[in-house]
Amino acid sequence: MKVWRFILKSSPKEISEKLESELKSIGGFVFDIDFEKNKSVTFKIRKRILYAWYMAFQNWTVVKGNLLKNDTENKTNVEITFKQHFLIKLIIYTHIFLLLGFLIAIISGINFNVIMYILAGTILALGIVLWIAIQRKFDKDRQKYKSLLTHIFEI
């Protein structure tokens, strides 16, 4: 989880209205906003999934933000976190459990043959490649969202 903090010279309501109007004009985003009682605003941004294969290309990062009213003047503390989508985490955890299952089977001697070694090695190599690809994609998505939000907030 990556956190990005900064201060803006507007009220949370003005910032959320500007963010909502800009994202609606761009299109292709799911934007949820929640006004809380203590004059804070929370929002969540992610790319919309129109087709199943979009999951593999677009919808890997979820942006969660919190706009907190600062007591001094007309300032707002902004805290934005970048997280990986739940299904991407599910793919990673499934891969880890599958590899652990193969390793337990090899160590315990349940199925002790060359094919098990080949399968476990293939899954391990695939897991390493998958992990590197996911981390690179997450960093690229985070930078894209930062530039988009910087443009919207005019930082």
**Chunked in runs of 10, what are the mean pLDDT values of the chain (155 residues)?**
81 82 77 72 78 66 84 81 85 85 79 78 86 88 88 81
Residue 125 inside a domain? The answer is: no
Write out the residue range of the structural domain in which residue 74 sits.
Answer: 4-85
Residue 94 inside a domain? The answer is: no
Residue 119 inside a domain? The answer is: no
Residue 102 inside a domain? The answer is: no
Look at residue 81 in the predicted model and tell me its pLDDT. 92
SS3 content of the chain, % helix, strand, coil (to 5): 55, 25, 20
Look at residue 134 in the predicted model and tell me its pLDDT. 86
Residue 148 inside a domain? The answer is: no
Question: In the chain, how many domains are there?
Answer: 1
User: Which of 128, 140, 154, 148 is CA-nearest to residue 60?
Assistant: 140
Look at residue 34 in the predicted model and tell me its pLDDT. 74
Residue 49 inside a domain? The answer is: yes
Residue 12 inside a domain? The answer is: yes
The CB density around residue 66, as the number of other CB atoms within 10 Å, is: 18
Return d(Cα 83, Cα 63) in angstroms, integer. 6
Residue 68 sits in a domain of what CATH number?
3.30.160
Look at residue 130 in the predicted model and tell me its pLDDT. 86
Residue 96 inside a domain? The answer is: no
The answer to whether the beta carbons of residues 52 and 40 sit under 8 Å apart is: no
